[in-house]
Amino acid sequence: MLARYLFLAVIALGALVAAVKLAPGDLERLAMLERDGRHEQAMGELQQLYSEGQRGPELMRRLFNLEIRFGLVDEARQVLEEYARLRPSDSEAQMGLIRFYQTNQLEEPYVATLRAQYERTRSRELLSELLGFYRISGRFRDEEDILERTALANRAGPAEFERLGLLAAARGDLQVAARALRRADGRVDEPSRAARLGLFRVLVELKELDEAHQRCLAWLRTWRDPELAVELMETFSQAGRADLALDIGARFGGPGNDVTLASAEILNDQGRHGEVLQKLREYQSGGLPEDRDRAQRFISISASSGGAEMALRAARLVGMRKLEGSVILDLLDSLQDALEVNSTGFPIDLLKGFSAEIDARVQNSIPVALEAGDRLVLADDMRLFATQLAILDRDRDLARKHLAAIDPDRLNTFDLSRWTELQVASGLRSTAFPNVPTNWRRRDRTDMVSRRVRRVERTPQPTEVQAIRPRQTGGTAQPSAGIWPPINASPDAQNAQSAQQDTNSARAQRNRRRAAALERQRERSRQASLRRSQQIQGGNVAPKSAPPPLPPLQPQPFLAPAIGSGG
């Protein structure tokens, strides 16, 4: 019996212990409250437990969530900050804190926590977020600092090294820039073109030209980018190491390759005309350039280095209409030189029909035609040469037209004699101008360079074409020179230049065009009214007076006007 009672007592005690053990704890009870939708009560009890010093993770999480649910932001912040502080290595807790600060737009705690977490984890996502924040806030020094730390920790990728290098370069710290950009360059996943160019320029600036050259060669071997090669060559050339530039040209040039053209330009700048022509021949062995910009460069280089024939062929291939006025002037200059010497054996046949093309180019550009962005306006000496070309083509009308466009009062003595003789040749005059002393008419031989210098030095005429010759189009880089005065130029010099620019400004040119158009319109009106008055007076339009019969055209040898022929 006793045993039975004892057994029952043990059973009862066991049940009691089990009941006590199985009874829900605080958190379970609070979870039940939440499940029942009694959130406020649950939160109150959790807050009580928290204030009693309980810091269990589950309690704190629940409390935080409930406080957020009721929008108790300050209380929730306190709980979360403590939770994260107690668990510095708990990534989830730290991220929760970061997102809390971000959501609540608490900028400084957000950045500080984000940075601290990044320092702990070196996570690329966090780095990206941190860098983005620094950039948009304009905190570039902080950005550089975190990039440096990332680089020191060997966690930086090419993009980070690149940005670090460029930031350091911008700050003028070329040593740091070079270090960072070298590391960017050494990566398998290649850095951007900007980074490599940045490194290249840093090296050039640091006078590490041989390293720059070696790196260039390596890049170009993998990239095979003629545009980049040209850019590097130009930089070497500007740094006074044309030899390195030409070396690149020699390695990566070829027929029809821009690198070859750039080599020719560098050689041309050095006055090595023979080698220029050799390069140009190499270039054109793959065919003459049909692309406008390349053709223009080709023509300019060949024209200025004595390759008039080559230039003319290229010009006629691409078409006069597409060429800039300055290029055509270069070409005409070169042709004039070549034909004066004549010993070069210039094939005259190539000039057949050329005068008409020149004239068409001039004519097409007179109205404000959209295709003719720049106008070809022939100065008097070029007019005289164009007249000679017309006479060669037996185009008497064109020759006369050119001559008519020349105001003899403007001509110097030599050109005046040419003009007179061409008038004779074109049938406008029976004899040459008699009063010019023979020794005045003698023209000194001038070399090509001084001729070019003369043309450049010539006082710019109001409607003269502007020399615009970018080598590349669109957004590609191209150094330029001479258009803007140096930064340290005196104000007077700048003013003088701006005054000169003003007379040649687009507005001034447009005004002049308008004035000319207005004048033409007036002239047309005047003639129309004259015709009307004639009709009224005579009942018929008076017949135009017929031009006087022209003498048969005398083909002239294509030389400078025969000196002394009018004597």
Residues in 461-520 that interact with other proteins by CB under 8 A: 466, 468-470, 473-480, 483-484, 486-488, 498, 501-502, 505-507, 509-510
| Per CB under 8 A, 171 contacts other proteins | yes
Closest CA relative to residue 464, chosen from 472, 455, 453, 474: 455
Q: Min. distance of Cβ 279 from other proteins in angstroms?
A: 24
Closest CA relative to residue 268, chosen from 306, 217, 233, 313: 306
Instruction: Write out the two tokens for 501.
Output: 């620019």
Q: Min. distance of Cβ 111 from other proteins in angstroms?
A: 11
Nearer to other proteins, 339 or 372 (CB): 372
Within 71-110, the residues that bind other proteins by CB under 8 A are 71, 73, 102-105, 107
CA dist 47 and 504 (Å) reads 81
| Per CB under 8 A, 52 contacts other proteins | no
Q: Min. distance of Cβ 411 from other proteins in angstroms?
A: 29
**According to CB under 8 A, which one of 26, 38, 96, 211 is a site residue for other proteins?**
38
| Per CB under 8 A, 364 contacts other proteins | no
Q: Kindly indicate which of the ranges 35-43, 88-96, 181-189, 346-354 contains the residues binding other proteins, using the contact rule CB under 8 A.
A: 35-43
CA dist 479 and 539 (Å) reads 67
Within 274-313, the residues that bind other proteins by CB under 8 A are none
Q: Min. distance of Cβ 182 from other proteins in angstroms?
A: 16
Nearer to other proteins, 194 or 496 (CB): 194
3-state secondary structure of 256: coil
Q: Min. distance of Cβ 15 from other proteins in angstroms?
A: 31
**With helix as H, strand as E and coil as C, how does 9-67 read?**
HHHHHHHHHHHHHHCCCHHHHHHHHHHCCCHHHHHHHHHHHHHCCCCCHHHHHHHHHHH
Calculate the CA dihedral of residues 126, 131, 133, 137 and round it to 10 degrees.
160
**According to CB under 8 A, which one of 27, 31, 39, 223 is a site residue for other proteins?**
39
| Per CB under 8 A, 207 contacts other proteins | no
Letter string b/e over residues 1-13, b meaning 16 or more CB atoms within 10 A of that residue's CB: eeeeeeeeeeeee
Q: Min. distance of Cβ 286 from other proteins in angstroms?
A: 24
| Per CB under 8 A, 155 contacts other proteins | no
Within 231-270, the residues that bind other proteins by CB under 8 A are 238
Q: Min. distance of Cβ 543 from other proteins in angstroms?
A: 40
| Per CB under 8 A, 145 contacts other proteins | no
Contact 335, 313 (CB under 8 A): no
Nearer to other proteins, 316 or 469 (CB): 469
Contact 248, 232 (CB under 8 A): yes
Name the phi and psi angles at 34, rounded to 5.
-65, -40
Within 10 angstroms of residue 474's Cβ, the number of other Cβ atoms is 5
Closest CA relative to residue 124, chosen from 153, 88, 104, 102: 153
**According to CB under 8 A, which one of 80, 151, 169, 416 is a site residue for other proteins?**
169
Nearer to other proteins, 288 or 327 (CB): 327
| Per CB under 8 A, 30 contacts other proteins | no
**According to CB under 8 A, which one of 16, 17, 70, 431 is a site residue for other proteins?**
70
- Local structure of residue 551 (DSSP, 8 states): P
CA dist 139 and 122 (Å) reads 20
Q: How many residues touch other proteins (CB under 8 A)?
A: 72
Which residue intervals of 405-447 are DSSP H helices? 413-425, 438-441
